[in-house]
A and B are shown apart, each in its own frame.
Chain A
């Protein structure tokens, strides 16, 4: 699976959009970009994933650049409850159980 690079920490004001970048310059054509988050010591929570098109769900939007070498997770109206560590994970879609490989992620702090 391709390596990802994320900033170690970011701050965002409550109510503003939080934009979390991820670099995955060695991504290959059959690798998806997944985003998870971990609030305090809770279990990681799936947010969104995509292959090459931009994706949106009730939690967030995922913007993947045309060359797929980077992506941005957007939380449109951040709240205090969005304070968490956000993980960008790149992995191949294959048949069978597939592990997730977590990096250090980005610690996002939402400030009142």
Chain B
């Protein structure tokens, strides 16, 4: 069964450093998403992406964040200058169409020290 994959599973970085989180969505999916979950808190939407453009972004997704689909398979989230409060699980998701169910990856645990 096809699944969303994410790398790395755990990333430790120092405050102020740039990180890139990688995702490979399911191959025939067209819509892509990033969510994050701070330990013990709710899953929060960050950004959605379709047709090589951001469709919607939350207040959390400020200028420090960017997303890219550099080729036909990868979908990346970049945090330019990490802060301690960026420590969280980051989940990538994809869906085949609008209104459809979203399939989530296993997440990347980002720890900023």
Contacts and interface: CB of A to CB of B under 8 A. Distances in A.
Bound pair (A, B): yes
Interface of A: 32, 34, 38, 41-46, 49, 93-104
A85 B6 CA distance: 22
A41 B110 CA distance: 13
B45 interface: yes
Contact of A101 (B32, B45, B91, B109): B45
B99 A94 contact: yes
Given A43-B93, A43-B106, A97-B50, A102 B42 contact: yes
B82 interface: no
A5 B25 CA distance: 31
B74 interface: no
A43 B36 CA distance: 10
A96 B50 contact: yes
A96 B106 contact: no
Given A41-B107, A42-B107, A44-B104, A97 B55 contact: yes
